[in-house]
Amino acid sequence: MKKIGIINSEISEVISKLGHTDTVVICDSGLPIPDHVRRIDLALKQGVPSLLETLSTVLEEMEVEAAFVADEMEWASPRFQQELEAVMQGIPVRTVSHEQLKKLTHEAKAVIRTGEFTPYANIVLQAGVIF
């Protein structure tokens, strides 16, 4: 049994295989996930697990150089956006349209679906390097 870190085997595997600039998406319960992209479905019920809890856990193991969120988050979920930026701890968060964010999911190595019910609560994480 794994002793530390992420114990979800699928998430642990995806992170361990990432190369520089590869992406992983953490999404709310409603984001469409392309059929050809690996889906890791954690959603149990409304709010469980939350996107921010999932993001915090992933950031413990994944080196992230940049992230992308939807422009619409600013007006639709401003409090959530502030909480998300606090979790990101200085990692640059860029905005794109929600339509562009959905297009970015097509290139992701995986999409992690949470039980989040907050509008536009989706984030694309771009892998960095540790050297």
Question: Strands 123-127 and 64-70: what pairing?
Answer: antiparallel
Residue with tokens 């964010």: 101
Q: Is 8 annotated as a binding residue?
A: no
Backbone angles phi, psi at 81, to 5 degrees: -60, -40
Residue with tokens 């929600």: 98
Per-residue HEC secondary structure of 56-89 comes to HHHHHHCCEEEEEEECCHHHHCHHHHHHHHHHHC
Q: Is 106 annotated as a binding residue?
A: no
Residue 36 known to be catalytic: no
What's the length of the chain? 131
Q: Is 108 annotated as a binding residue?
A: no
Q: Is 41 annotated as a binding residue?
A: no
Q: Which of 5, 13, 17, 20 is catalytic?
A: 20
Q: Is 28 annotated as a binding residue?
A: yes
Which parts are annotated binding residues? 28, 98, 120-122
Residues marked active site are found at: 20
Which parts are annotated binding residues for substrate? 28, 98, 120-122
